Amino acid sequence: MGAKIDSLFIDAIELIFTASYLSKQQKQPFVQKASARLDLLKLFLQISWEIKALDNKKYISLSEKLDETGRMLGGWQKHL
């Protein structure tokens, strides 16, 4: 589970980084993929929390940051 979470996190970072260097017309698919990876990451974190593999404090901290990132990606998608 931890390896999957790490992989999704790295994928999302790579997609966001790549999108930041592309033209406006080329950004859309990368931002959409990053948003999808972020949603999967949140799902796996929730599952980890539910099976007690992640404590409440860490889950809350990560969730808040991922929610903010999701809002930022959503705004970016609307702008495109």
Q: Report the pLDDT value the prediction gives residue 56, as an integer from 0 to 100.
A: 95
Q: Report the pLDDT value the prediction gives residue 46, as an integer from 0 to 100.
A: 96
d(CA 40, CA 19): 19
d(CA 6, CA 21): 23
Q: Report the pLDDT value the prediction gives residue 37, as an integer from 0 to 100.
A: 97
pLDDT digits (tens, 9 = 90+) for 19-57: 999 998 899 999 999 999 999 999 999 999 999 999 999
Q: Taking residues 63-74, report their average pLDDT.
A: 95
d(CA 26, CA 7): 24
Res. 80 pLDDT band, cuts 50 70 90: confident
pTM, two decimals, is 0.89
Strand ranges in the chain using DSSP code E only, listed in sequence order: none
- Are the beta carbons of 70 and 43 closer than 8 angstroms? no
